[in-house]
Chain A
Amino acid sequence: MTKPTAIVGGRVLDPVQGIDRLADVLLKDGIVEAITGAPGDVPDGYHVIDATGLVVAPGFIDVHTHLREPGFEHKETIATGTRAAAAGGFTTICAMPNTEPNQDNVSTVEFVLRTGREQGVVRVLAIGAVTLERAGKRLVEMAELADAGVIGFSDDGNPVADPNIMRQALTYSQVTGLPIINHCEEPSIAGAGQMQMGVIASHLGLTGVASEAETVMVERDIALAELTGGRLHVAHLSTRRAVEAVRRAKERGLHVTAEATPHHVSITESWVYGLGGAVPENGALSTAAYDTNTKVNPPLRTNDDVDAVVEGLAEGTIDLIATDHAPHAATDKECTYIEAAHGISNIETAFGSCMVPVHSGHLALEDLIERMTAAPARFLGPTAGDTELGSLKVGLPADVVVLDPSADWTVEPEAFFSKGKNTPLAGTTLKGLVVTTLYAGEVVHEAGARLD
């Protein structure tokens, strides 16, 4: 049995219990034993973690992680992906179904969950596909997948393009009570676009994706959710108009939730220039331009979109942060922008990226913690292995993260635990560090470990 642990002297933030005070957190037998009234003497026999000057919060929950296993183990495995998650402060992650084979059948889902238990450093939950092969034609056996433990359904990577299939999915999924998580992009508008439509795409000669590709699909899905009464979750919301659409849907009382990614709250389309977000002087491109690590779907948007997404997150229109961690092999990105795979390996940089709007004064730290813990826990509901997550209530799993919101650190992809080194943030300094991550009472990550 592991020695009990005491995390002492930190500012404890637990949005579910409304706790925000200096306190010690005692962990024993893999569960939370107590949160003291104030820092004080630690009982004998405890391993002590000094959190003075730091923030102690429930471990983060990511409802949108690409773990790539089975099928793409050269990009990521459940073992490496969960280790990376621990480095990012996440103690629960939800594996997206675009594996090979797809998570459209019970045996693949069981494989993911079992491998997660056996090899995972943190808790792995699974998301099932909406349609077979994620091809948008025939619904999966949703009830059976729900029994196998999926927490929702998504064809992520592909939208559910056919409105009728989406309608059926929203209707039928009600037998499970689980959400349909749609990648909201209307393919006929998005076309073969590679980045946000606009002046920068025009400058680079890249095909633009109009924001309306997202807006149109979000509006359609909201209409279908209203029609069917189904539970809709909008994946990686990224545009102002889509934020407005979700806001209106919530005002009408629809069962609609939404997520935003760390990159869509922190960086913009100008990062495609490869200059850390700067626009090249006099418009002259350098060989750093066409940074394939910025290619992501939905694309990096405009400043205005980022502002709107942060606003939406701050007011709760956007319920939660989800990473859309999308690791790729080097060869998937060492190519032309057009050939490059979509996605950013970001689970290890997520907290630092999400602190950008906090440091700029547009998002409260308490709200950010809520969007990464309590909110995704609410989204998961009681389905996550019959245990409540996302809180430090006594008796709940001892999943804890210790954060230093003001520590600077430089992103070095080579030091990632993830196999995916694909990040546009290489060399960038982030302010906001995950110091220690504990999963079920055990330390699974300590800052500096990456330096060993």
Chain B
Amino acid sequence: MARTRTATTAPERPREGSANPEAQTSQETPATQRRRAERARGSQPSMFGGLSGSRKNVLDLDDFSKEEIEHILQSADGMNEVLSRNVRKTPTLRGKTILTLFFENSTRTRVSFEQAGKVLGADVINVSASASSVAKGESLLNTVRTLEAMKIDVLVMRHPHSGAPYFVASKIDAAVVNAGDGTHAHPTQSLLDLYTMRRHLGDIAGKKVAIIGDLHFSRVARSDVWGLRKMGAEVRVCGPPTLLPYGLRPGTEKPDSAAFTGIKVVDRVEETLEGADVVMALRIQRERQDSGNLPDLREYSKLYGINADRLALANPGALLMHPGPMNEGIEISSEVAHGAQAVIEEQVSNGVAIRMAVLYLLCPRSATRD
């Protein structure tokens, strides 16, 4: 059933401006001013009064409310502070066991989850399996049931098949976090993208985000689109017609599906980039060329690659993002990938804080399960 969340919203407290707090507080002593600045930097006011309902799994952002996303992004600030300490360890999830089960290689995402779990004091067990050795679904089911019998609280899984974590979540009691399923979703990547945007741009609402490339096969883009729309961003997409999701392709019917409303498809990459606050280049997978989706990568690069000239069309100071790993010189030029506007490495480091926030959100629930 579709979950609806009724989140209570408190009246928003005006955020203290980060710019020059001295100006507005001239009668205060320097120490008080410093204190005020200290606090303005650290704690943002809570935007709402708490989460209603309980979340068992994080499978995609489609069932998250804006408030819940906000909660995670705010918690990530707290988690980032923990990561900045000399002692990067809290006892929060002491005695909890997190299992990462990866059917696809991804050092980056797996290590990020492992680090997140360990900083919060959980025991983390890593299992990598190859989907080919687990050719039949019976084995996938048996695999997770066997692992669950060893008392795990959270299963973080990546699988090459879309929907695999939904299947697993319907079969086991442990909380399930989707660390990427086929061409469907990658919610924690999307959360860290939102977090990275918010750190640089403040409120995401109303910001123009241009997503360029393979939206059809990109699980990151799919989850990003959910997250961005929930946070009120304006999403524009551009990519080769063969690599746009059905329903966004030229000539296909206008979808009434909630999955695709509010996305603006733009034909030309230049037009997509004009006035954008965020430019997100998606990874182009070489195998798409073999399956007939693209003539060749050279043409792709020419039509859709993000280079300095194109990036200049976006707003000054626009963020350049990429979910990684990059094909430099294809979807993104080396010059801009390592340029001043790129926040690609920051995306990676924010991943740990976001995943800590996600695990923190889930573990209490798994603890109170009967």
A contacting B, Cβ–Cβ less than 8 Å: yes
Residues of A within 8 A of B (CB): 197-206, 208, 275, 279-290, 292, 331-340
Q: Are A287 and B166 in contact (CB under 8 A)?
A: yes
Task: Tell me the interface secondary structure of chain B in the complex.
Answer: loop
Within the complex, the shortest CB–CB distance from A412 to chain B, in Å, comes to 19
Within the complex, the shortest CB–CB distance from A75 to chain B, in Å, comes to 14
Within 8 A of A (CB), among B212-255: 216, 219, 222, 245-248, 255
Q: Are A336 and B138 in contact (CB under 8 A)?
A: no
Q: Are B246 and A201 in contact (CB under 8 A)?
A: yes
Q: Are A290 and B162 in contact (CB under 8 A)?
A: yes
User: Which A residues lie within 8 Å of B169 (CB)?
Assistant: 287
Q: Are B167 and A202 in contact (CB under 8 A)?
A: no
Residues of B within 8 A of A (CB): 1-4, 57, 59-60, 62-63, 135-138, 140-141, 159, 161-164, 166-167, 169-171, 181-185, 216, 219, 222, 245-248, 255, 257-260
Name 7 extra pairs, CB < 8 A, besides A206-B162, A283-B259.
Answer: A203-B260, A281-B2, A286-B166, A287-B169, A336-B162, A338-B162, A339-B137
Residue of A336, A338, A339 with highest tally of chain B CB at under 10 A: A336
Within the complex, the shortest CB–CB distance from B186 to chain A, in Å, comes to 10
Choose one: A197, A203, A286, A336; the contact of B259 (CB below 8 Å): A203
User: Which A residues lie within 8 Å of B260 (CB)?
Assistant: 199, 202-203
- The CA-CA distance from A338 to B166 in the complex, in Å, is 13
User: Which A residues lie within 8 Å of B170 (CB)?
Assistant: 287-288
Residue of A198, A200, A205, A280 with highest tally of chain B CB at under 10 A: A205
User: Which A residues lie within 8 Å of B164 (CB)?
Assistant: 336
Q: Are A275 and B183 in contact (CB under 8 A)?
A: no
- The CA-CA distance from A331 to B183 in the complex, in Å, is 24
Choose one: B2, B137, B246; the contact of A282 (CB below 8 Å): B2
Choose one: B63, B161, B247; the contact of A284 (CB below 8 Å): B63
- The CA-CA distance from A276 to B25 in the complex, in Å, is 61
Q: Are A331 and B162 in contact (CB under 8 A)?
A: no
Q: Are A285 and B62 in contact (CB under 8 A)?
A: yes
Q: Are B140 and A335 in contact (CB under 8 A)?
A: yes
Q: Are A199 and B257 in contact (CB under 8 A)?
A: yes
User: Which A residues lie within 8 Å of B60 (CB)?
Assistant: 284-285
Contacts A334-B138, A336-B161 given; indicate if A283 touches B257 (C-beta within 8 A): yes
Within the complex, the shortest CB–CB distance from A309 to chain B, in Å, comes to 19
Chain B residue with Cβ nearest A335: B137
Chain B residue with Cβ nearest A201: B246
- The CA-CA distance from A283 to B2 in the complex, in Å, is 8
User: Which A residues lie within 8 Å of B245 (CB)?
Assistant: 199, 202
Q: Are A282 and B258 in contact (CB under 8 A)?
A: yes
Choose one: B163, B167, B246; the contact of A208 (CB below 8 Å): B246
Chain A residue with Cβ nearest B256: A199
- The CA-CA distance from A199 to B245 in the complex, in Å, is 8
Chain B residue with Cβ nearest A285: B62
Q: Are A290 and B163 in contact (CB under 8 A)?
A: yes
- The CA-CA distance from A126 to B161 in the complex, in Å, is 37
Within the complex, the shortest CB–CB distance from B235 to chain A, in Å, comes to 14
Choose one: A206, A208, A286, A333; the contact of B2 (CB below 8 Å): A286
Within the complex, the shortest CB–CB distance from A113 to chain B, in Å, comes to 32
Choose one: B184, B216, B219, B246; the contact of A198 (CB below 8 Å): B246
Q: Are A286 and B138 in contact (CB under 8 A)?
A: no
15 contacts between A and B (CB under 8 A): A199-B259, A204-B162, A205-B163, A205-B184, A283-B259, A284-B62, A284-B63, A285-B63, A286-B3, A286-B166, A287-B169, A290-B166, A331-B136, A333-B137, A339-B140
Q: Are B183 and A287 in contact (CB under 8 A)?
A: no
Chain A residue with Cβ nearest B261: A283
- The CA-CA distance from A197 to B141 in the complex, in Å, is 27
Q: Are A286 and B163 in contact (CB under 8 A)?
A: no
Q: Are B1 and A202 in contact (CB under 8 A)?
A: no
Within the complex, the shortest CB–CB distance from B288 to chain A, in Å, comes to 13
Q: Are A205 and B140 in contact (CB under 8 A)?
A: no
